[in-house]
Structure 1
Amino acid sequence: MKKYFFTFGSLPNVLAPRTFNEKVNARKFFDHRRIFQTWVDKLAVRDWVAGVKPGYDQLLPVLHHVTSDPADIPFDQLPDRFVIKASHGSGWLRIVKDKATIDRKAIIAECRKWLALNYYDVNLEGAYKNIPPRILIEEFLDNGSGEAPEDYKLYVFHGRVEIIQVDVARFGQHRRKIYDRNWQEQQVELSVTTYAGTLPPPPQLARLIEVAETLAGDIDFVRADLYLVGDRIYFGEMTPSSGNGFNRFTPASFDAVMGAFWKLESPPRLLLNSLRRPRDKA
């Protein structure tokens, strides 16, 4: 609540939420579905994706290594380029583009720092609270120029993609554009400076939407993050509390526009239903 007030100058109405940010915060307070923990666990979600539909295992980047002790990372056996990430947090990752230049001791120390932290204590997102801490080494996805590909974040409300966020040069001069499902640019800035150039719709747009909607199923809201490498789609992550409920929309009125897509249950019913649902279901 304090962070929300310092960010927006007001408190969120989580009992009768109207905006997107208020609804994300209401979910954090009242919606404790077990599927959220599976989605934010970067190791467990891989098995979940593979089981959604036959062939969806092909969406997953190659997994080179998993460990709870970074001292056993097999650097000599890894490819020249790879991605190191923690299973139990957000933003805890390092991209290695040239294995020959890395400081292995520094990487091991950084991984140990991640493993010692509980992301719930950092960001108060309950879904992260009980995730086993592990280090994953995954395939580096190359856009053809030696850089990470554009990141397509598809906002799925009640089984339908409504908004598509495209992140460009996420690990460099990060810029962003917002579109609707028909690739009509939305006149809004979302937390990151708007990309000044033109982004044509990807040839695989219909397929991106199909994959995101299949992954989301009939849940009221989730953000499905996907990548395109050539004509192949790769899975990034599933995000049930996008922006942790602190998305900075400019103009601020777009917060209500986004919120209107999400028909959230009343908070008391949300809490009751989330506890009644089978633990392994959305």
Structure 2
Amino acid sequence: MIGSGTSFPQRGLRRAHRVLCRTLPNHRGINYLLALPQFWHGNKRLPRRDNDPSASLNDFIFRRMIQDDWSPLQRACVDKEHVKEIVLQKVPQVKVARTVAVLPLAATTTAQDVMAFLTPFLGQRLVVKPTHSCGVILYLDRPLAEQNLGAFVQFSKRNFFHAARETQYDGLEKKLIVEENIAPASGLNDYKFTCANGHILHGRMDVGRFTARHQRALFTVPAFDIIPVRYGGLEIPAAIEKPPHFAEMVEIAEALSRGFDFVRVDLYDTPDGVYFGELTFTPCAGSTSYSDERLPIDLARRLRAIAATAPVVPANQPG
């Protein structure tokens, strides 16, 4: 992604960038150049080296996403079908959305093929989403025509690696997963915990998501105090309410992050308990801005300190 302008030169640059992302191979130097425009757009600077005292968490994320040195376990955790089994082996008490069906996607899969696959599930409180990417979801208790099934299928057939050169997505099997909709009628509260090998660096809570009044708060753990730094340009709410299952979420996030040098653990607090969302190894491709860069610089420092005192044991198996 190159900027957000709409002038002819900018549109041409964005189209050329998309073509290059789809055609050039997965190589560290190429990944650096193709991921650089998005990093620059979010951070307004070039990436810094790891040994730079002013290197931030976004620099760490950028470096690791272009290197393509993921373990088999990390790659398996990116797959939204397989990660459920891994999570339940690690933390049996966490809830996961029940998988109903899975459809492998091929280059020749059409919207009609997907409609035929989904027909038995229409009208039920289920959702369908790709297992190998993020950002799109269909609700099967709503009319599919209104949700644009064709665009959904087209998006789902893409190699998500091409979007921002996040190398853990390259080569993932493309599938659609149908699973239960865990959201209550009152809405779903999701919490994201930025972690390093069993240590939580901070949490994140979104208020009014998918509305014009969307606000976001970063908070400390375990105190649950708002960190006065905007993330992604969103305003900070005046106050946030500690979720009912907060202590349990902290324990789950700590447990799920052990063995990983860095991971964001996404959880949902529901009336039925804590549900697992996903594990994210390169949040926002390191391109989401902080209103005060002293925070991500401090997070990178803490990350290095944790790695020095508690080295991560390489994980060579997917489960």
TM-score, normalisation: structure 1: 0.84
The CA deviation string for residues 159-188 of structure 1, in whole angstroms up to 9 with x for no partner, is: 111201012233333321110001011001
Q: 1:241 to 1:105 in 2, by over 3 A?
A: closer
Classify the secondary structure of the residue corresponding to 1:249: coil
1:102 to 124, 131, 144: 144
Q: 1:281 to 1:105 in 2, by over 3 A?
A: closer
Matched residue, 2:88:
50
Q: 1:15 to 1:47 in 2, by over 3 A?
A: same
Percent sequence identity is: 22
The answer to whether residue 63 in structure 2 is matched with residue 26 in structure 1 is yes
Classify the secondary structure of the residue corresponding to 1:137: strand
Matched residue, 2:128:
84
The answer to whether residue 159 in structure 2 is matched with residue 118 in structure 1 is yes
1:225 to 266, 289, 310: 266
Q: Distance in 1 between matches of 2:144 and 2:217?
A: 33
After TM superposition, the runs of 4+ consecutive aligned structure 1 residues lying more than 4 A away are none
Q: Distance in 1 between matches of 2:98 and 2:81?
A: 12
Q: Distance in 2 between matches of 1:169 and 1:65?
A: 31
Q: 1:8 to 1:192 in 2, by over 3 A?
A: closer
Alpha-carbon shift at residue 130 of structure 1 (Å): 1.2
Alpha-carbon shift at residue 43 of structure 1 (Å): 1.1
Q: Distance in 1 between matches of 2:59 and 2:237?
A: 29
2:117 to 58, 73, 96: 73
1:5 to 11, 20, 40: 40
Task: Name the stretch that deviates more: 110-119 or 128-137.
Answer: 110-119
Classify the secondary structure of the residue corresponding to 1:201: coil
Task: Name the stretch that deviates more: 84-93 or 234-243.
Answer: 84-93
Alignment of 1:57-206 (within 5 A): 59-68=95-104, 70-96=114-140, 98-99=141-142, 101-103=143-145, 106-107=148-149, 109-145=150-186, 147=187, 149-173=188-212, 174-181=214-221, 182-206=223-247
Q: Distance in 2 between matches of 1:179 and 1:167?
A: 11
Q: Distance in 2 between matches of 1:133 and 1:249?
A: 33
TM-score, normalisation: structure 2: 0.75
Q: Is the 8 A contact 1:150 1:169 kept in 2?
A: no
Please give the root-mean-square deviation of Cα atoms over the aligned residues, in Å: 2.7
List alignment gaps of at least 5 residues for structure 2.
1-35, 105-112
The CA deviation string for residues 181-239 of structure 1, in whole angstroms up to 9 with x for no partner, is: 01011001110413434222123111000001111113221110000111500010001
The CA deviation string for residues 48-86 of structure 1, in whole angstroms up to 9 with x for no partner, is: 112213344xx1012222112523333343453322211
Q: 1:105 to 1:208 in 2, by over 3 A?
A: closer
Classify the secondary structure of the residue corresponding to 1:131: coil
Q: Which one has the largest radius of gyration? A: 2
Q: Distance in 1 between matches of 2:239 and 2:58?
A: 28
